[in-house]
Amino acid sequence: MTKHIFVTGGVVSSLGKGLTSASIGMLLERRGLRVRMQKLDPYINVDPGTMSPYQHGEVYVLDDGSETDLDLGHYERFTNSPLTRDSNYTTGQIYQSVIEKERRGEFLGKTVQVIPHITDEIKSVIRKLATDSVDVVITEIGGTVGDIESLPFLEAIRQMPQEVGHENCLFIHLTLVPYLKAAAELKTKPTQHSVGQLRQIGIQPDILICRTERSISMDDRQKIALFCNVPLQAVIEEKDKDFSIYEVPLSLVNNGLDDLIVKRLQLRADTLLLNDWHDLLHRLRNPQHEISIAVVGKYAEHRDAYKSIYESLDHAGIHHHAQIRIGRIHSEAVEREGPERMLAGYDGLLVPGGFGERGIEGKVEAIRFARERGIPFFGICLGMQCAVIEFARHVVGLENAHSTEFSKDTQHPVICLLDDQKMITYKGGTMRLGAQPANLQSGTLAADCYQADVISERHRHRFEFNNAYRQQFEAHGMRFAGTSPDHSLVEIVEIENHPWFLAVQFHPEFKSQPTSAHPLFAGFVRAAIDRRSVRGPSLVADGPH
């Protein structure tokens, strides 16, 4: 019988529920259990694909082309649980499906209501993952307990033990135990209130994971246990980690979480294997190199907008025993201040994906700076498109070359709409999405990094390199190192006579793990380390921004 773990959050948002759920998944997997992970999001958008990164952070893309919540990135970085469309549902999707059933007449004349129809639909998407080959399904409920919109999800998981047996369900609630400076004390009351709210809707949590800045005293643990009605050992402390998020699973193990879960769910589990994880933390703590990478984007101030990019850089750092200082550079600041002032001294420059015209010229200027100064450059999606625009304008000599995304009537549309996109008007879920194969040309940087001829990477774009310009670009020293198998789409560009200049139309950052860095990120960071070792200590004046 598949067991279910439900993870809820209380007190405040941004407690790291995704990271904690991913850590739980990882610990169970490393005890030999087959785990599936899932996030249920209470917002009405069908998926986060149409939301601004300011609202939602990064949109995380899966192999099957689904555009999902960024917590799924944590799941993939921490576990090997296969993720699909069934791993992320929103209120919008649940209602869409119920309304379609209603239109097909499937409710046989009944009034369609939140309870039971919406809650039944929610239970069915949870149970969908509980197949014979799965030991544990971990379902994270987005939002904070007490939000109006999460109520149907909480009601659905309240009902789950009725259906699958109380012994097969475990409720884990993540809360905050804040430290009040004025009183010089940790406060347990917000946790008591949030558990009180959960109990009001009929859920008694089995385990409380308490996020805190300081260690929770035995007295406070006893208080939480007594008032929240959980055994003392089920009050798990999760202290803030200022060093690395990859410490979280170890701290949960030290607080006995994996044993507790295994015991409460009566799982047949092996002993925990964490050697590689200890090794990665050891590498993080003992770097042999230090480099600085500038990530030039429109959402520099928003930590979650380029989440997987920052993580992938860290993975490559772990791989090469290097500490990476990331400078989050606003592309509009490059426009205002000039690339010299914003970028001189960095050992590598990365331009990530994006949409819309704001900040484009700053990205183009930054790429020109990297190309002309021989600074390792890595372009991703819009980053590749900007590299093509830059090359067109300053090397090929096509003045004002642009992408038709930003300049419909440009004289030189070096980036244009994909053919399949021309008739599309619907915005949601209609880009070129998900895993697509590409062939690599031998003797290129890309082939050297991947050590392969054929690769598969995830995509999310509407625009592409305009094939009418291929010959002209090649004649000026651009290599098309990767193309779709029928050669119709450019997937990777490189330039000759540069230490490391590579840009891709896809999103390699969605396939990097802390214990196995993505080959392109590893290659890029290697090039930045080499540049640093030639140039000597950091040249970034005040340290990266």
Distance between alpha carbon 82 and the CA centroid of its chain, in Å? 15
Q: Of these residues, 381, 386, 416, 449, which one is catalytic? A: 381
| Contact (CB, 8 A) for 458 and 83 | no
Q: At what angle do helices 189-200 and 218-228 cross, to 10 degrees?
A: 20
Interface pick for ligand GLN out of 178, 353, 376, 514 (rule CB under 6 A):
353
In this structure, the number of other CB atoms found within 10 A of the CB of residue 192 comes to 16
Q: Interface with ligand GLN includes 158 (CB under 6 A)?
A: no
Cβ closer to ligand GLN: 79 or 483?
483
Pattern of binders to ligand GLN over 392-431, x per CB under 6 A? -------------x--------------------------
Task: Spell out the long-range contacts of 535-541 with Cβ–Cβ below 8 A and sequence spacing 24 or more.
Answer: 535/347, 538/290, 538/292, 538/325, 538/345, 539/344, 539/345, 540/292, 540/325, 540/327, 540/344, 540/345, 540/346, 541/345
Residue span binding ligand GLN (CB under 6 A) among the ranges 282-290, 297-305, 461-469, 530-538:
461-469
330 is catalytic: no
Q: Interface with ligand GLN includes 381 (CB under 6 A)?
A: yes
Interface pick for ligand GLN out of 153, 463, 469, 524 (rule CB under 6 A):
463
* Local structure of residue 230 (DSSP, 8 states): -
Interface pick for ligand GLN out of 95, 107, 227, 355 (rule CB under 6 A):
355
- Minimum distance from CB of 264 to ligand GLN (Å)? 42
Residue span binding ligand GLN (CB under 6 A) among the ranges 190-198, 388-396, 456-464, 519-527:
456-464
Q: Interface with ligand GLN includes 461 (CB under 6 A)?
A: yes
Cβ closer to ligand GLN: 390 or 405?
405
Q: Of these residues, 238, 311, 457, 509, which one is catalytic? A: 509
Residue span binding ligand GLN (CB under 6 A) among the ranges 32-40, 229-237, 250-258, 351-359:
351-359
Rounded Cα–Cα distance for residues 232 and 535 (Å): 56
Residue span binding ligand GLN (CB under 6 A) among the ranges 174-182, 292-300, 455-463, 523-531:
455-463
Number of residues that bind ligand GLN (CB under 6 A): 10
Rounded Cα–Cα distance for residues 421 and 292 (Å): 38
Interface pick for ligand GLN out of 178, 354, 359, 362 (rule CB under 6 A):
354
Q: Three-state SS across 369-403?
A: HHHHHCCCEEEECHHHHHHHHHHHHHHHCCCCCEE
- Minimum distance from CB of 449 to ligand GLN (Å)? 20
Residue 489's nearest CA partner among 505, 474, 477 is: 505
Cβ closer to ligand GLN: 140 or 464?
464
Strand 490-495 and strand 478-483: the pairing is: antiparallel
Q: Interface with ligand GLN includes 195 (CB under 6 A)?
A: no
Cβ closer to ligand GLN: 348 or 352?
352
Q: Interface with ligand GLN includes 508 (CB under 6 A)?
A: no
| Contact (CB, 8 A) for 246 and 22 | no
Residue span binding ligand GLN (CB under 6 A) among the ranges 297-305, 317-325, 333-341, 460-468:
460-468
* Residue 274 burial by Cβ neighbours in a 10 Å radius (0-12, 13-18, 19+): middle
Q: C-alpha dihedral over 117, 118, 121, 122, to 10 degrees?
A: -140
Rounded Cα–Cα distance for residues 166 and 157 (Å): 11
Which residue's CB comes closest to ligand GLN? Answer: 353
507 is catalytic: yes
Residue span binding ligand GLN (CB under 6 A) among the ranges 124-132, 156-164, 299-307, 352-360:
352-360
Cβ closer to ligand GLN: 9 or 353?
353
- Minimum distance from CB of 351 to ligand GLN (Å)? 10
For the record, the structure tokens of 484 come out as 């779709």
Rounded Cα–Cα distance for residues 239 and 214 (Å): 6
- Minimum distance from CB of 63 to ligand GLN (Å)? 16
Q: Which amino acid is at 109?
A: G
Rounded Cα–Cα distance for residues 305 and 299 (Å): 6
Length of the chain: 545
Interface pick for ligand GLN out of 462, 470, 476, 545 (rule CB under 6 A):
462
509 is catalytic: yes
* Residue 232 burial by Cβ neighbours in a 10 Å radius (0-12, 13-18, 19+): exposed
Cβ closer to ligand GLN: 131 or 430?
430
Q: C-alpha dihedral over 46, 49, 53, 59, to 10 degrees?
A: 110
Cβ closer to ligand GLN: 102 or 357?
357
What does the binding site for ligand GLN look like in residue numbers (CB under 6 A)? Answer: 353-355, 381-382, 405, 460-463
Which of the residues are catalytic? 381, 507, 509
